[in-house]
Structure 1
Amino acid sequence: MSSAPQNSPVLETARRAREAAAVLAPLPRTARDGALLAMADALEARTAEIVEANAEDVAKARAAGTAESIIDRLTLNPERVAAIAADVRHVVGLPDPVGEVLRGSTLPNGLELRQIRVPLGVVGIIYEARPNVTVDAAALCLKSGNAVLLRGSSSAYASNTALVAVLRDAVVEAGLPADAVQLVPGESRDSVTELMTARGLVDVLIPRGGASLIRTVVEGSTVPVIETGTGNCHVYVDRAADLDMAVDILVNAKAQRPSVCNAAETVLVHRDIADEFLPRALKALADAGVTVHGDETWQEASPEVVPATDEDWATEYLSYDIAAAVVPDLDAAVAHIRRWTSGHTEAVVTRDTAAARRFVSLVDSTAVMVNASTRFTDGGQFGFGAEIGISTQKLHARGPMGLPELTSTKYVVTGDGHIRD
């Protein structure tokens, strides 16, 4: 249990969430979907209220000198609110994971055995500046029968407060308990610590954000954590690669949207094709506005290349920067990846089927792309409809986490007066 005072507002919020979770668990899909539709309608009806609250956060962020890229993530306008509402309606149409039978059989003694999906219970989400996550997380948790505790950053506190008020009113209107969706009280780190140590009240925590946030939650939590990882992703261009394809994949993986976790941060090139590939890659990357931090071979190919250090190999840039090295062979590329990867996504570009198979078998990351951009590691792109995050751990959930990953299982055993000898 938590070491926080038992009358702590955070723990009281968690207790109410636990009571709400018990109500949600047996509800039919129609009840949960009805609440989601009510949430979408309410977001649209109360857009002005939401945008007004968001303007307060944006003004504070600008006054504090926050980077415009962060302010853009923070900002809500009527078009973005409408898009968020549309996303909630999309969740309604996704398959319901609750009650799905994963396996079943009749045992030799006549007992009927079924393993079925059930909600996790109370899910805590700790996340940074994007207020759209508030609604996304609430919708996905409610769809999968879970109560949700939302702890966004203080920079979005007014926005999140307004959004959660709208969602709670909609949930009540649909006949569900308001405490199925709650904002964790407090803006200080103490409230985060109390949430992380509310073992017995919170079933699982999911951190979403940068490396520092994720590390803090993983290392400091007594509540089980599903670790969503940073993305130090690699692209390896093999000697049997189609070079036109390799250039296209590299530029897309790095520059299509560099601030996300599935963007490439390092490119590795087989030495047999370096003389031909590097000039083409350097031009394409320069045209895309990307700065290359390269080893000696890359530096020899262009005076614009910044000398790379071990810090570059370890860095998730989230910017128009990429680390680059030439390697003697596929095994050397794999060794580099295994040393420096965060376990998110790696890609190989090759026309050699045996080389592709070897790369896939040796690389131990959440997703491995063959002749495709790292940018495809995404719940929507995988056809899951939505995701709560991308897990880089190996227990319970790995990779893009859709609705099934927000459930656990239980066994239901049905007999006819069976007793064990």
Structure 2
Amino acid sequence: MVQPQIRIPATYLRGGTSKGVFFRLEDLPQAAQVPGRARDRLFQRVIGSPDPYAAQIDGMGGATSSTSKCVILSKSTRPGHDVDYLYGQISIDKDFVDWSGNCGNLSTGAGAFAIHAGYIDAARLAGEGVCTVRIWQANINKTIIAHVPIANGQVQETGDFELDGVTFPAAEIVLEFMDPSDESDGGSLFPTGNLVDELEVPGVGTFKATMITAGIPTVFVNAADIGYTGTELREAINTDPAALARFEKIRVAGALRMGLIKTPEEAATRQHTPKIAFIAPPVDHVSSSGKPISASEVDLLVRALSMGKLHHAMMGTAAVAIGTAAAIPGTLVNLAAGGGDRRSVTFGHPSGTLKVGAAARQNGGDWKVEKVTMSRSARVLMEGWVRIPGDSF
């Protein structure tokens, strides 16, 4: 018997240079309120995946890694936190939902949505100013602090803050990623123990790499070592199947060296992490919008891939990794930015530029990052109910 569609309260929200479908945990069907296949299938149907046409026409997704996302928020029971934030990266064409990492851009949306969804006491929203929302990032067990502007007891979404990669200005939200390195299970900021390694990639070659677990596990390589300049736009990479296959080989080799996977085959079930990024010293170039970027405006150039494709701007979590690596003398990122001690870095990405601040200190032989700070924006695009067939999860 064919089942009718069901409707689930949901909010379609842009956070930074990403957008996704946001849910309150208590609004999900009972079977999807816990991790498992039902939750995965529900989110896939909402987004329109897996889609062999890679278009997500029959769902809310936009057929890019930046728009194939779902978020669950709930009231936090963890001391000192307002909400728990769980993020799912939905594969576009494969039957897979990746829960292995965070989305830094949608972390902005999580702070705003916590207020929209009624998780923040009204007394904290009185008048105008900034509401500080403490978020527990449940994918990676880290604290994120969002400073959300408030007007008339509600989120102030409009403003004049411009974010490269987003067409229209909005209100600025400042994010603090606290202690962003992954040191669980005896891990470290640099899983290999080195600031720079010689990474051997079967079928590709051997070249220098900085592998770091801050914000999200990331493998940095020099653009020149793999035949690029660091000024490439999406079309130069994403229309080249051979280049994408080579980047995937680099990602798999990095994942193995970082201990994220034990066999190359496991990489297929961990598409969201690690990220692969290539870097270069600054040069004059033109962004994807046609805006000229002078070498004097940035400290270095970075291009990063997400879910197998070059990102149109920069993932927020990768920006955390960039800021962290730039703050530590001797990493490839730090060297590309000119070396030395620094507490912030401005880098060029395909859509423009982004500034990230980082506070890093050395404790004995190990580096520790206290926090990484950046500014983003968020805006509700639509709210109401999302509908899916009742037999789809």
Structures share fold, TM-score greater than 0.5 = no
Structure that is richer in helix per residue: 1
TM-score by length of 1: 0.28
Higher strand fraction: Structure 1 or Structure 2?
Answer: 2
| TM-score, normalised relative to structure 2 | 0.30
Q: Radius of gyration: which is bigger?
A: 1
